[in-house]
Structures are given as C-alpha cells and as structure tokens.
C-alpha cells in the first residue's frame, strides 16, 4: 500500500473517530468467507459500518482524532476490524445477534463517549448502555413528572372544588 493511500485512510478514520466517538474494535479473523459476508450483510441492514484496517493505521487515526488511552496499545494486536454506528450500542447488539451460539466476532474493545471498555466480557454491559439521546429523554421525562402529577391531581379532584376554594379565598381577602 502506498503512503498516500495510508494517509488517506488515516485521515478518513480520524474524521470518523472524531465525529462518532463510538466505535468498536473486533477480531473477525476466525470467520469463514461466507460468515464474513453474512456479517457484512447484517451490518449493512442494521446501519453499522465495518472496516478491516491495519492496527498501525488505527493508532494513527486515533492520534489524529485526539483519542489517547494507554490500554489501546494492548488491544491493537492481531487482526482488527472497526465497527461504528450512530447508536452506541448498535454494534454490541449486532455482535450478539450474529454470534448466536458461537464466539465470533470477538470484541477487543469499545470506545463509547470517552470511555474505554476492554474485553469480550463487556458485550452485555455495552448492550444495556443507553445512547446520549435516550439519557436526555429520560432526564426530560423525570423533570416533567412532577408537573404532570400536579396537573393530573388538579384534573382528578374535581376542578369545581378547587375553583370554588379559590373563589372563596379571593372573596375573603376583599
């Protein structure tokens, strides 16, 4: 591969890493060609991008995107493929679905919103992670809950009683 091609790959990956901040590094080397094609097909259907890239290029792309973690040096050994998607847990769900009863693809690490998850045993944790948008929606729902309770309480106890009480109180002040 020419240096120009490598620079272009590093540039593209660096932009992807900087834009997404959610990516998984997996080992798919144990897959047969039919299984690898099936994985690529499933990735396409689920909106997950899959790229097989040399480890040295991944390291340079992470430097380009200002992602620095000492544990990545241990992860980037042997064959590596990168998976990324809009949703932070989509690749984890895809891996679990593709595996069925098998052990491949193997999760080496996942980088989710500035946090590094290392090892294949983290797959269940990653599946349960909520995306940033889901967390914001949960917070908004929690903030709206007290207001909704007050409004429903006002509606439930006949509004006439409350209106009557307010009228009586205003007449006493006069």
Spell out the per-residue pLDDT of the chain, length 174, in tens: 888 888 999 999 999 888 877 899 999 999 999 999 999 999 999 999 999 999 999 999 988 888 877 788 788 888 899 999 988 889 999 999 998 867 889 999 999 888 889 999 999 999 988 877 788 888 888 888 777 766 666 666 555 666 666 777 777 765
Q: Please report the pLDDT score of residue 71 as a whole number.
A: 80
> Do residues 45 and 115 share a domain?
yes
> Do residues 49 and 105 share a domain?
yes
> Do residues 148 and 80 share a domain?
no
> Do residues 125 and 161 share a domain?
no
Residue burial 135-148, b: 16+ Cβ < 10 Å; e: rest: eeeeeeeeeeeeee
Which of these, 29, 47, 31, lies nearest to 87 by C-alpha position? 47
pTM, whole model, 2 decimals? Answer: 0.75
Compute the distance between CA of residue 125 and CA of residue 109 in angstroms, rounded to an integer: 12
Q: Please report the pLDDT score of residue 110 as a whole number.
A: 92
CATH of the domain at 103: 3.30.70.1730
> Do residues 138 and 163 share a domain?
yes
> Do residues 86 and 116 share a domain?
yes
> Do residues 157 and 101 share a domain?
no
> Do residues 52 and 28 share a domain?
yes
Q: Is 58 helix (H, G, I), strand (E, B) or coil?
A: helix
Distances (CA, A) of 20 to 68, 104, 127, 163, 164: 15, 24, 17, 53, 57
The domain in which residue 91 lies consists of: 3-129
Residue that finishes a domain, picked among 129, 145, 165: 129
Q: Please report the pLDDT score of residue 82 as a whole number.
A: 94
In the block, residue with structure tokens 């080496």: 108
Compute the distance between CA of residue 163 and CA of residue 66 in angstroms, rounded to an integer: 61
β-bridge mates for residue 109, sequence order: 25, 118
Using left for φ > 0, alpha for ψ between -120 and 50, and beta otherwise, residue 104 falls in: beta
Contact of 49 with 42, CB cutoff 8 Å: no
Provide the number of structural domains found in the chain.
Answer: 2
> Do residues 123 and 137 share a domain?
no
Q: Please report the pLDDT score of residue 48 as a whole number.
A: 94
> Do residues 149 and 114 share a domain?
no
> Do residues 50 and 64 share a domain?
yes
Quote the tokens at residue 69: 């973690």
> Do residues 93 and 76 share a domain?
yes
- Residue 78, phi then psi, degrees to nearest 5: 75, 180
Q: Please report the pLDDT score of residue 3 as a whole number.
A: 87
Beta strands in 99-151 (DSSP E): 106-112, 115-118
């Amino acid at each position: 591969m020419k240096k120009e091609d490598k620079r272009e790959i590093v540039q593209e990956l660096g932009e992807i890493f900087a834009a997404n901040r959610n990516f998984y590094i997996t080992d798919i080397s144990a897959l047969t060609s039919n299984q690898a094609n099936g994985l690529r097909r499933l990735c396409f259907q689920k909106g997950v991008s899959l790229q097989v890239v040399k480890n040295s290029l991944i390291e340079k792309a992470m430097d380009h995107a200002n992602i620095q973690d000492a544990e990545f040096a241990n992860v980037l050994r042997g064959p590596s493929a990168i998976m990324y998607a809009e949703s932070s847990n989509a690749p984890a769900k895809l891996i679990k679905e593709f595996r069925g009863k098998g052990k491949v693809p193997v999760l080496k690490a996942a980088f989710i919103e500035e946090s590094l998850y290392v090892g294949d045993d983290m797959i269940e944790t990653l599946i349960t992670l909520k995306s940033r948008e889901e967390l914001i929606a949960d917070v908004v729902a929690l903030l709206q809950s007290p207001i909704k309770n007050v409004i429903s309480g006002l509606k439930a106890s006949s509004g006439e009683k409350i209106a009557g009480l307010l009228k009586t109180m205003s007449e006493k002040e006069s």
